[in-house]
């Protein structure tokens, strides 16, 4: 388990050769103990020391990748059960499931969701192809799924069908989800041969655990665990217990990402699938598979995922610039707020609700809320004037009305000096009053 820096130091050559990039072996050992350096960075460790150390310093949950090129997705590598303890790292891909029978229509539908939200490209991240007994149709669907340029999951327990499907996707690095207590040896060989992750499934968590142990002994640790679909309660219990065993109890054999197939848990109801996808986004699905992904489902689910995977130490920010709303143009007035994403979204939403065309100006304010940014010196008359100049606002917008957040009314005088020709207007203190404010002032 977790080794102390001194224990690691005893195994180093203690020559302070600096080849690892650290000034002393002691400094290096401390970094390894904290998890900020990898033991392999030292070229002079003995093989024995290396083996015992890499085992002891390995992260509690494997960090894996699947999919190739632009479709590559990161899984696992989580170190905490609650995001406030540090942060979650690998946002859960959302996949949709297809079969040989419905591949064309569902793949076409899967392309529809495609948008940007705070710098993140939202789309169906992966396609799950389920084998239903018709090998030719399955392989055909697998090819079509791979051609879509998304990561692919092969849900198949039949070894022959798995072999053909893997051959069909080439080097797309899929997940082969179908290792059971009965077939895991053959499936493991197939997955290794194709560079695929192997999904382990079974009738119970005990059976899954034994299969994982057997695979680890056969030297395959590129695994993901399917939490099963016997019932919602069991799938949730498995997802939580797997993650908890790995991160709290230090059981490495549970330290793998999970697959949750809510299309098999939702009883055919899209609303229920949405609710279950929400549940497993919080607690602890590494990949969540739905029947389909409509915009109605994507908008809340991708937004939730973006929130939950935000690093608590680094607030979400929007890009600096001008965001015209309600068809605003050069003649529309300006509203200014900060680049903290939550503030931006609330202000943008209120302006949209007002129906008044406004240019929403976002300067660099360090990702803080209005008052915090002001108190930290990140939102000042000078920083706003610099932004107006750098973003060439005066060149692109003719209107000279600038509505400021009411909470920083104190900046008015300085701003009038820094921005000659502008009409500085103090807006409301709270976003909720903005609709009324804008309507009264600008709606003709």
Partner 1 sequence: MAFTKNPQVFTAKVAEVTFGTGDSAVTLGGESVFPLYAFDQEYAHPPVVGIDFSDKGPDRDIPGVAEFYKGAESLADVAKRASEAEGASFVSFTLASADPNGDDAPIEESVAKCKEVADAVTKPLVIQGTGNAEKDGQLLGKVAEALEGKNVLLLSALEDNYKGIAVGAVLAYGQKIAAESAVDINLAKQLNVMISQQGVKSESLVMQVGTATAGYGFEYVASAMERIRGAGLSQNDDMLQAPIITPLADETWGVKESIVSEEDFPEWGPAEERGIDMEITTAVACLASGSNAVILKHPASVKTVAGIIADLM
CB of 281 to partner 1, least distance (A): 8
Residue 192: other Cβ atoms inside 10 A: 15
Any idea what DSSP says for residue 4? P
Nearest approach, Cβ of residue 361 and partner 1 (Å): 19
Q: Which of 364, 333, 365 is nearest to 351 (CA)?
A: 333
Could you tell me the smallest distance in angstroms from the CB atom of residue 227 to partner 1? 12
Q: How far is the CB of 280 from partner 1 (least distance, A)?
A: 9
Tell me whether residue 272 or residue 378 sits nearer to partner 1 (CB atom).
272
> CB of 252: closest distance to partner 1 in angstroms?
13
Kindly state the smallest distance separating residue 52's Cβ from partner 1, in Å: 23
The binding site for partner 1 (CB under 8 A) comprises 82-84, 112, 117, 205-206, 208-210, 213, 231-234, 236-237, 240-241, 244-245, 248-249, 251, 254, 269-272, 274-279, 281-283, 294-297, 299-304, 306-308, 310, 312, 342, 345-346, 349, 352-353
Distance separating alpha carbons of residues 379 and 369, to the nearest angstrom: 10
Q: Enumerate residues 6+ apart whose C-beta is below 8 A from 150.
A: 67, 71, 110, 123, 124, 125, 126, 127
Pick between residue 343 and residue 418 the one whose CB is nearest to partner 1: 343
DSSP 14-26: -----TTSSSSHH
**Cβ proximity of 346 and 317 under 8 Å:** no
CA nearest neighbour of 384 among 370, 395, 430: 370
236 vs 422, which CB is nearer to partner 1? 236
Burial pattern 100-111, b for ≥16 Cβ within 10 A else e, equals beebeebbebbe
Q: How far is the CB of 206 from partner 1 (least distance, A)?
A: 4
CB of 89 to partner 1, least distance (A): 14
Q: How far is the CB of 363 from partner 1 (least distance, A)?
A: 21
**Nearer CB in complex with partner 1: 34/84:** 84
For residue 158, which of 178, 141, 181, 138 has the smallest C-alpha distance?
Answer: 178
- Pick between residue 100 and residue 255 the one whose CB is nearest to partner 1: 255
**Residue with Cβ nearer partner 1 (44 or 248):** 248
Q: Which is nearer to partner 1, 183 or 241 (CB)?
A: 241
Cα separation, 184 vs 187, whole angstroms: 5
- Nearest residue (CB) to partner 1, 174 versus 285: 285
CA dihedral defined by 258, 263, 265, 267, rounded to 10 degrees?
Answer: 180
Q: Are 351 and 360 in contact (CB under 8 A)?
A: yes
Distance CA 165, CA 152 (A): 11
Q: Give which of 150, 145, 100 is closest to 123, Cα–Cα.
A: 150
- Token pair belonging to 292: 């389909």
Closer residue to partner 1, CB minimum distance, 29 or 226 = 226
Give yes or no for a contact between 310 and 402, defined as CB atoms under 8 angstroms apart: no
């Amino acid at each position: 388990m977790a080794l102390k820096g001194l224990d690691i130091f005893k195994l180093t050559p203690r020559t302070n050769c600096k080849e690892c990039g650290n000034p002393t072996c002691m400094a290096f050992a401390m970094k390894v103990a904290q998890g900020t350096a990898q033991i392999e960075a030292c070229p002079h460790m003995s093989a024995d020391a290396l083996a015992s150390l890499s085992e002891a310093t390995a992260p509690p949950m494997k960090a894996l990748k699947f999919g190739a090129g632009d479709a590559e997705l990161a899984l696992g590598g989580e170190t905490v059960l609650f995001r406030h303890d540090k942060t979650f790292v690998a946002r859960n891909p959302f996949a949709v499931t297809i079969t040989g029978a419905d591949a064309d229509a569902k793949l076409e539908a899967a392309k529809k969701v495609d948008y940007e939200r705070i710098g993140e490209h939202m789309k169906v991240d992966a396609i799950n192809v389920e084998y239903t007994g018709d090998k030719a149709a399955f392989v055909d669907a697998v090819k079509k799924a791979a051609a879509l340029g998304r990561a692919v999951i092969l849900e198949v327990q039949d070894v022959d069908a798995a072999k053909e499907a893997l051959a069909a996707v080439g080097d797309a690095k899929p997940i082969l989800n179908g290792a059971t207590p009965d077939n895991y040896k053959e499936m493991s060989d197939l997955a290794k041969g194709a560079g695929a992750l192997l999904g382990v499934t079974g009738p119970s968590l005990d059976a899954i655990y034994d299969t994982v142990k057997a695979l680890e002994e056969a030297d395959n640790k590129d695994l993901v665990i399917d939490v099963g679909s016997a019932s919602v309660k069991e799938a949730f219990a498995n997802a939580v217990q797997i993650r908890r065993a790995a991160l709290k109890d230090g059981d490495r054999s549970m330290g793998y990402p999970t697959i949750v197939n809510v299309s098999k848990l939702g009883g055919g109801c899209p609303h229920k699938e949405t609710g279950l996808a929400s549940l497993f986004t919080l607690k602890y699905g590494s990949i969540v598979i739905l029947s389909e992904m409509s915009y109605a489902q994507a908008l809340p689910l991708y937004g939730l995922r973006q929130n939950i995977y935000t690093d608590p130490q680094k607030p979400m920010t929007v890009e600096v610039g001008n965001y015209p709303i309600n068809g605003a143009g050069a003649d529309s007035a300006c509203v200014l707020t900060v680049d903290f994403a939550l503030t931006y979204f609330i202000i943008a939403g209120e302006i949209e609700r007002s129906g008044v065309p406004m240019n929403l100006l976002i300067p660099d304010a360090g990702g803080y809320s209005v008052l915090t940014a002001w108190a930290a010196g990140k939102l000042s008359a000078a920083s706003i004037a610099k932004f107006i100049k750098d973003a060439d606002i005066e060149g692109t917008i003719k209107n000279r009305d600038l509505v400021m957040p009411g909470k920083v009314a104190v900046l008015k005088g300085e701003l009038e000096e820094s921005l000659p020709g502008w009409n500085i207007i103090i807006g409301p203190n709270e976003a909720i009053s903005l609709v009324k404010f804008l309507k009264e002032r600008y709606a003709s």
